[in-house]
Amino acid sequence: MSDRYQGFTQSPIGKLLVKNLGLPAPTKLERYVAGAPLVDGTVVVGGKGRLAESLTGLLDLLGIASTEATEDGQRYKALVFDATGLTSSSDLVALRDFFTPLLRSLESCPRVVVLGTPPEQVSGGERVAQRALEGFTRSLGKEIGKGGTVQLVYVADGAEAAVASTLAFLLSPKSAYVSGQVVRIGATGTKKAVEVADWQRPLEGKIALVTGASRGIGEQIARVLHRDGATVVGVDVPQAADDLVHLMKELDGDHLALDITAKDAPQRIAHHLTEKHGGVDVVVHNAGITRDKKLANMDEARWESVIGVNLTAPERITRELLDQKVINKNGRIIGVASIAGIAGNVGQTNYAASKAGVIGFVDSLADELKDGITINAVAPGFIITAMTAAVPFATREVGQRLNAMSQGGLPVDVAETIAWYASPGSTAVNGNVVRVCGQMMLGA
């Protein structure tokens, strides 16, 4: 499942063709290795606003070196700019003043994070300036190159102390394939932070349910949550039971083989979690299927099976777990949507409807949840899996190159994003849908 084109661009003839023909030259992305520091280098902090005074302390808490003073000839791994103090369009020049002198001083696979105030919480010129940050960060994400990422984090008033888990994710290699995204902290639900005892194993002692866990993205979700300390309860169809049992044995987890669309599936899952684990802390609705056909040729079975697995089952399971109070305080509900649910795709009206419905599912529950429980979703773009390896070559190449990083993502990129949502420190991260797509050029 390797990217052969990316390997070719590193060969002598590949480098020559890339240079002379202007072909995409994807940078090999850095990805997190367990036990490694979150940031291998120094973060430059700038800007003046509500968060400026606390940023250095937050980065110190995470073991990340930072500085406000830069030196000629020095290289930096990341830039963080507090833009919450920008209150008019004329103030936006501060973005140019901070970033322009530093962009050529960045190391490979750099990180840029801009912190702002949710525009809906302010008015007048300040609202104009804060909304402008979205265009700035999305454009910079398409310019930065070298495997870099750029994000905008809107921090609600009162949620200043709740940004640590998000900075830990966005500044680290864990966010390798996430770029051009807008994250909201404290906009919905609680604004308070929950203390994380161990940033290497933030899910220690937690129970995590993962559907579709036996292979592909689901397998990587299970592995990453286990790495972070969780006991994983994997769920998959009986046909995948052998793979599921083998994986859960390797991860010292638990398993449940059932069809999540079965009438009694929500009750069986709730009973299993209650009886064997005393509840659940993280619920990841990863199971999904495709049954592609253009709508003119779409039969009822294709439509209903995709909606049933991808959307109706997560709704029913979540409702049962909430009604029976199986989800513990500060629990996490995480859906897997898709870029298809945002931009659409030919031959996937059923799939795109189901994945857009997952986004609606997040919207519908975000304001309802109590006791620190949150709901968020990831929306993967082109992720290299055994399934995408079977896609025709030309289609696969377009899918991999049509993003700011000129390459496909890996299942672990989706898993790392889910682990960020799952962290106890992400209690103020609620109602978000973050695309894991390398910043796709269309629909993003």
Q: Is 444 exposed, middle or buried (0-12, 13-18, 19+ CB in 10 A)?
A: buried
Which structure tokens are listed for 375? Answer: 């709901």
From the candidates 5, 154, 351, 421, which is the catalytic residue?
Answer: 351
User: Left if phi > 0, otherwise alpha if psi is -120 to 50, otherwise beta: which for 394?
Assistant: alpha
First-residue to last-residue Cα distance in the chain? 25
Helices (H) and strands (E) in the chain, counts: 16, 13
Q: For residue 351, indicate whether it is catalytic.
A: yes
Q: Which amino acid is at 334?
A: I
**Which are the contacts of 32, defined by CB distance < 8 A and separation ≥ 6?**
38, 172, 173, 174, 176, 416
Question: What is the distance between the alpha carbons of residues 325 and 44, in angstroms, rounded to a whole number?
Answer: 44
- How many CB atoms are located within 10 Å of the residue 343 CB? 16
Please report the DSSP string for 331-386 in residue order: EEEEEE--THHHH--TT-HHHHHHHHHHHHHHHHHHTT--TT-EEEEEEE-SB--H
Which structure tokens are listed for 187? Answer: 């906009």
Residue-level length of the chain: 444
- How many CB atoms are located within 10 Å of the residue 276 CB? 11
- Catalytically active residues are 351
